[in-house]
Chains A and B, each alone.
Chain A
Amino acid sequence: MNVAMLTEILTSGVAFAIPLLLAAGGESVSERAGVLNLSMEGMMLTGAFAGVFASVTTGSAVLGAAAGVLAGLIFGLAQALLSVRLRADQIVVGVAANALALGLTTFGARVLLDGGKGQGVPAFADIRIPVLSELPVVGPAIFGQTALGYVCLAVIAALAVVFSRRTMPGIRIDAVGEDAVSAGWTGLAVNRIRVLGVLIASAAGGLAGAQLALSEVRSFSENMTAGMGYLAVVAVIAGRWKITGILWAALFFGVARALQFALPAVGVHIPYAVLVMLPYLIAIVAVSGFVGSRNAPSCLTVPYVGRV
Chain B
Amino acid sequence: MTATTAATEAAVTTTAMLSLDGIGKSFGPVRALDAVTLTVRTGSVHCILGENGAGKSTLCNAVYGTVSPDSGRMVLAGADYRPRNPADALRAGVAMVHQHFSLVPTLSVADNLLLGRDGFRPPRDALAKDLDRIADSYGLRVDPRATVGALTVGARQRVEIVKALLRDPRLILLDEPTAVLDPAEIDALIETCAALAADGKSVVLITHKLGEVARAADEATVLRAGTVVGGGRLADTPLSSLLELMLGDKEPIDPASRPRRVREPDDAEPVLRVRGLDVTRADGSAALRQVELNVGRGEIVGIAGVEGNGQSELTSVLSGALAAGAGTVTLDGVDLTTATPAQRTAAGLAVIPEDRHTEGMIAELSIAENLAMPRLRRYRRWGLLDRTAMRADAAAAIAEYSIRAPGPDAPIGSLSGGNQQKVVLARELSTEGLRAVVAAQPTRGLDAGAVAFVLDRLRAAADEGAAVLITSSEIDELLAVCDRIVVAYRGALLGSVPAESPTAATDIGLLMTGVPA
Contact surface of A with B, Cβ cutoff 8 Å: 162, 166-169, 171-172, 174-175, 178-179, 181-189, 298, 306-308
Complex contact B106–A184 (CB within 8 A): no
Shortest distance in angstroms between A302's beta carbon and chain B's nearest beta carbon? 14
Q: Which residues of B contact A167 (CB under 8 A)?
A: 120-122
Known contacts A168-B121, A179-B103, A307-B85; 8 additional CB pairs below 8 A are: A168-B117, A175-B107, A175-B112, A182-B101, A183-B104, A187-B116, A307-B66, A308-B66
Contact of A187 among B68, B85, B104, B111 (CB under 8 A): B85
Complex contact B120–A169 (CB within 8 A): yes
Interface residues of B in 108-162 (CB under 8 A from A): 111-112, 114-122
Contact of A171 among B67, B101, B114 (CB under 8 A): B114
Q: Which residues of B contact A185 (CB under 8 A)?
A: 66, 86, 96, 98, 102
Q: Which residues of A contact B89 (CB under 8 A)?
A: 187
- Contact A184/B86 with A168-B114, A171-B111, A308-B27 known, Cβ cut-off 8 Å: yes
Complex contact B115–A171 (CB within 8 A): yes
Complex Cα distance A178/B163, Å?
19
Complex contact A174–B117 (CB within 8 A): no
Contact of A182 among B66, B67, B102 (CB under 8 A): B102
Complex contact B67–A179 (CB within 8 A): no
Complex Cα distance A308/B66, Å?
7
- Contact A187/B122 with A171-B114, A175-B107 known, Cβ cut-off 8 Å: no
Q: Is residue B105 within 8 Å, beta carbon to beta carbon, of the partner chain?
A: yes
Q: Is residue B87 within 8 Å, beta carbon to beta carbon, of the partner chain?
A: yes
Complex Cα distance A187/B117, Å?
9
- Contact A179/B104 with A187-B85, A187-B90, A308-B66 known, Cβ cut-off 8 Å: yes
Q: Which residues of A contact B122 (CB under 8 A)?
A: 166-168, 171
Shortest distance in angstroms between A166's beta carbon and chain B's nearest beta carbon? 7
Please list 8 pairs of residues, one from A and one from B, whose beta carbons are closer than 8 Å in the complex, sorted by A's number: A168-B119, A174-B107, A178-B107, A179-B105, A182-B104, A185-B66, A185-B98, A187-B90
Nearest A residue to B98, CB-CB: A185
Complex Cα distance A307/B66, Å?
6
Complex contact A186–B115 (CB within 8 A): yes
Complex Cα distance A186/B120, Å?
18
Complex contact B115–A183 (CB within 8 A): yes
Nearest B residue to A172, CB-CB: B115
Q: Which residues of A contact B117 (CB under 8 A)?
A: 168
Q: Which residues of B contact A178 (CB under 8 A)?
A: 104-107
Interface mask (B404-422 → A, CB under 8 Å = 1, otherwise 0): 0000000000000000000
Nearest B residue to A184, CB-CB: B86
Shortest distance in angstroms between B43's beta carbon and chain A's nearest beta carbon? 25
Shortest distance in angstroms between A280's beta carbon and chain B's nearest beta carbon? 26
Nearest B residue to A297, CB-CB: B106
Closest 7 pairs (CB-CB, A-B): A185-B102, A187-B87, A182-B102, A179-B104, A187-B86, A175-B104, A187-B116
Shortest distance in angstroms between A156's beta carbon and chain B's nearest beta carbon? 19
Complex Cα distance A306/B107, Å?
22
Complex Cα distance A167/B116, Å?
13
Q: Which residues of B contact A162 (CB under 8 A)?
A: 120
Complex Cα distance A181/B115, Å?
13
Nearest B residue to A298, CB-CB: B106
